[in-house]
Amino acid sequence: MAKLNIVLYEPEIPANTGNIGRTCVATGTKLHLIEPLGFSLSEKALKRAGMDYWSQLEVERYVNYEDFLQRNPGAKIYMATTKAKKIYSEASYEPDCYIMFGKESAGIPEEILVEHPEECVRIPMIGETRSLNLSNSVAIVLYEALRQNQFDHMKLEGDLHRLHWENV
């Protein structure tokens, strides 16, 4: 069964993290938060964005990037960055891989990125746009990874009920 992981490196905006947490719950994805965080996990904005899903979220916190690496030895980590040469859809996401996103104001530090150039992926954009919103970026890349893993363990069909109108 696919068990993907989203990693947020020093996230700064609680609403983004709340939205990402909700996406993780909806997809069965574990969320990893690398400190320092730019907010408290008890903040209203975080809870509001995550709605009532936050209690269902599988989340792990780390004191820093080194702690993350030590506690996840051998993890295959893809790094989303505007500095990547490869487009996110060109990567082949393993069912248990980690996809890391940097903080809103600065992204993933370049000293980390240069150690993993083949694992860096980007979302194409027009012109000089700096970046997309963090929660949107997570959703785009995560759903590509889920698609590549055949949306394993996810509900693939809805139930549309036909409406019957009389005398309209």
pLDDT tens per residue across span 80-134? 999 999 999 999 999 999 999 999 999 999 999 999 999 999 999 998 888 899 9
Q: Is position 131 annotated in a ligand binding site?
A: yes
CB of 67 closer than 8 Å to CB of 97: no
Q: Is position 34 annotated in a ligand binding site?
A: no
Q: Write out the DSSP string of 24-88.
A: HHHHT-EEEEESPPSS-TT-HHHHHHHGGGGGG--EEEESSHHHHHHHSTT--EEEE-TT-SEEG
**What order do you get walking across the sheet with 59-62 strand by strand?**
59-62, 30-34, 5-9, 98-101, 77-80, 120-122, 86-87
- pTM above 0.95? no
Query: What domains are defined for the chain?
Result: 5-148 (3.40.1280.10)
**Residue reference for tokens 């970026």:** 137
Q: What pLDDT, on the 0 to 100 scale, is given for residue 160?
A: 76
Split at pLDDT 50, 70, 90, the class of 51 is low
Amino acid at 40: S
Give pLDDT tens digits for 140-157.
Answer: 999 999 999 988 887 788
CB of 76 closer than 8 Å to CB of 98: yes
What whole-number distance in Å separates Cα of residue 118 and Cα of residue 137?
A: 19
Q: Is position 40 annotated in a ligand binding site?
A: no
Give pLDDT tens digits for 127-144.
Answer: 888 889 999 999 999 999
What whole-number distance in Å separates Cα of residue 96 and Cα of residue 39?
A: 28
Q: What is the β-pairing status of strands 120-122 and 86-87?
A: parallel
> Considering only CA atoms, which of 54, 46, 50, 58 is closest in space to residue 5?
58
Q: Which residues contact 108 (CB under 8 A, 6 or more apart)?
A: 9, 79, 80, 81, 100, 101, 102
> Considering only CA atoms, which of 12, 5, 51, 50 is closest in space to residue 31?
5
